[in-house]
Structure 1
């Protein structure tokens, strides 16, 4: 029992007051009976408080409710169910033993429960690394009406939860797509500029349609302008190529660039499947990683999710020659290749340019790399001294070189996307929809 008994601050305040009374009783003897009475009263009340808290065997119940898996980079809801079986109201302090990855040692919640009352406490956790997270026990500290002592309860709730790529972000985009509200997430509406040759139907002309596809015979017959409508091409292959080299280890807002790329790849795969296309995945660094051949079954998304879960950054330079050779051998149908990488310098990109040009010859290649958003504060600042001038000049050089990389890639017929990490998913999906609308595949 002693291991579960804790004295509260109210008890020590009472001890301090009684001690002061005893001290003042030396010059003022009339205070001695009051001090002695207060001392015995404190002992009596403390014993009563201890008895009330410890007389029942299981007066409290607590359970942590965890989802089956956590979503990387998102706020995940964790709930704790509490039940008070005491015949009186209690005040509670709750400490949850979180996985070490969160580095939180101050997760303390205070609440109160009436007799026979139940309550649910919900808090949020945002993991920034994929992997297994071990939750520990739930520690409750209950105090009664007097609040002099506390009883500790420990509920063994050890549980391991896996953190997967951001499936919450994927679901959000999926729900917006189903309800035709993608504009709320920043997805642009792109008017179809091209067409496939697969005829769908003859329908009424509306403003914005291409007048080249007016069906004049049907127009003369109906007395209204009629248009030949073509079905959007489907079953096209969309591959996400994820660079796992050392350049993708750079962190932004807690997440590495590779984790941003993994989250965007999952949303891209889901969007491609919703559009009727096939989604595939390739990971690489100094050697080839995993390859998931493009498929269109809904269960295919779970295969991609499981592969993305196990990816780890390598600390060597990526081998683009090996990537080119592997794709030429294994991806024979013209496909959209979305390469997530991070070129920090023009010279670094030019070393890989021959292999990128080779891929762009047989496929539609979109090279996605990242803006260094940490430089924005430096670029927007006013230099106050010589050192600040040097820093700003260097930052402008890096930012300018990133824009040069985009122009250099475009000159060689390679699509390029320079984006802040936070906007990666939205900008990638916009590019994919643009390619679909323009029938570039």
Structure 2
């Protein structure tokens, strides 16, 4: 219990009244004020019925509704407050008589949303009582699944020329002959069957069965470098490289589900920490395996993950890692040649806008200050090392994909579709 501002003002007024009013009258008024405050405190202390509604699962970075409903307040004035966490941000955090807000998760994993606190002020406005009216709420935060579904939907829609009308063609180059049909203007001329054209007297093309049931494996690095923050342009909060990588893995699995391929994942640092074998419709399994993983302060060993992939069937292996550190790039360079003998390999890493900004020339042409000059030297060295690692990985047979955090998932999916279209898996 605590006195309200009105009670404090009343106490100050009674103290000043002693200067002009006989003290017996002030004493009577003080006793009456104390009695009123006591009655008000008893009323403010009466239990409240508060119900909080919040989704049990959230997607990272996607706002969701949070509501707090207060019942049984009577004549009391009630102000509710939802405490914020760095990883779970609520806006607005306070409201009179209830709360209608949005909660945004900035980190994946399992979180506890703190209890709601309600401050009840008595009918006379003299006393207040703070109630902790709910328990903590368990919230699981998934990767950015809406973005993954949008990419999968875009890929699915790209297979049609007109919505609901005529099919545009397969995603990927079919290799198994299916049937013959009349040539259409948008058909690939390489598929024209000239023997059948001569026999039938009209242009005829081969139709191939769409390439499906291909294996795609996302290798997610959980080493120390993946804990580094990156800030997408225009974003108020930074995210970790691991958050960006897991978003890309979720998008890759969603698109593989959409085109009929099998997707799996291996999460690793110096050991394998999670694994999902490639199978059909595995998007949900991939998200469940990855959504609560966090990086550890150890150096990653890509060879451990490559051994987990195996060599029994050719697959597209997408390594989601960071190329900034030369030592980590050296370990990857040593392991890549073993994998490219059997599989198509893509090494994907998100770029850092802050580093690129540090090496950009000043717009006004003035000389940078000493701190900016030192940052430029360090950033230049880091980016040069990254360029050397990228060139060496490409020389050893893998494809390198780099993109800003906000475009990273789309770039990884594009590399997958390009490999599928070129029949590399």
- In 2, the alpha carbon distance for the partners of 1:420 and 1:334 equals 29
Which residue in 2 is equivalent to 1:186?
none
Which residue in 1 is equivalent to 2:235?
none
Distance 1:408-1:264 versus aligned 2 partners, 3 A rule: same
Deviation (angstroms), 1:275:
0.9
- In 2, the alpha carbon distance for the partners of 1:148 and 1:106 equals 29
Counterparts in 2 of 1:21-420, with a 5 A limit? Answer: 21-23=17-19, 25=20, 46=37, 49-50=40-41, 53=44, 58=47, 60-71=48-59, 73-77=60-64, 79-88=66-75, 90-97=76-83, 102=87, 108-112=93-97, 121-130=100-109, 132-143=110-121, 146-174=124-152, 194-199=173-178, 202=181, 205-207=184-186, 209-215=187-193, 227-253=205-231, 254-296=238-280, 298=281, 300-327=282-309, 330-345=310-325, 349-380=329-360, 382=362, 383-420=367-404
- In 1, the alpha carbon distance for the partners of 2:29 and 2:182 equals 93
- Counterpart of 2:410 (choices 418, 422, 426) is 426
For these two proteins, the number of residue pairs brought into alignment is 408
SS in 1 for 2:355: helix
Distance 1:109-1:250 versus aligned 2 partners, 3 A rule: same
Distance 1:320-1:53 versus aligned 2 partners, 3 A rule: closer
Contact 2:302 2:331 in 1 (8 A): no
- In 2, the alpha carbon distance for the partners of 1:92 and 1:223 equals 85
Distance 1:48-1:312 versus aligned 2 partners, 3 A rule: closer
What is the alpha-carbon root mean square deviation over aligned residues? Answer: 3.9
SS in 1 for 2:341: helix
Which residue in 2 is equivalent to 1:10?
6
- In 2, the alpha carbon distance for the partners of 1:261 and 1:437 equals 23
Contact 2:88 2:104 in 1 (8 A): no
- In 2, the alpha carbon distance for the partners of 1:133 and 1:151 equals 28
Which residue in 1 is equivalent to 2:15?
19
SS in 2 for 1:81: strand
- In 2, the alpha carbon distance for the partners of 1:108 and 1:321 equals 47
- In 1, the alpha carbon distance for the partners of 2:176 and 2:346 equals 24
Which residue in 1 is equivalent to 2:163?
none
Contact 2:88 2:105 in 1 (8 A): no
Unaligned runs of 5+ in 2: 161-167, 232-237
Deviation (angstroms), 1:174:
4.4
Q: Which of 90-99 and 227-236 deviates more?
A: 90-99
- In 2, the alpha carbon distance for the partners of 1:138 and 1:321 equals 48
- In 2, the alpha carbon distance for the partners of 1:232 and 1:176 equals 18
Deviation (angstroms), 1:440:
2.2
Distance 1:16-1:82 versus aligned 2 partners, 3 A rule: same
Distance 1:148-1:226 versus aligned 2 partners, 3 A rule: farther
Deviation (angstroms), 1:217:
7.6
TM-score for the superposition, normalised by structure 2: 0.80
Distance 1:145-1:98 versus aligned 2 partners, 3 A rule: same
Distance 1:286-1:111 versus aligned 2 partners, 3 A rule: same
- In 2, the alpha carbon distance for the partners of 1:105 and 1:75 equals 12
Deviation (angstroms), 1:40:
7.3
SS in 2 for 1:362: coil
Unaligned runs of 5+ in 1: 113-118, 183-188
- In 2, the alpha carbon distance for the partners of 1:178 and 1:13 equals 67
SS in 2 for 1:74: coil
Deviation (angstroms), 1:242:
1.6
- In 1, the alpha carbon distance for the partners of 2:89 and 2:279 equals 41
Deviation (angstroms), 1:155:
1.9
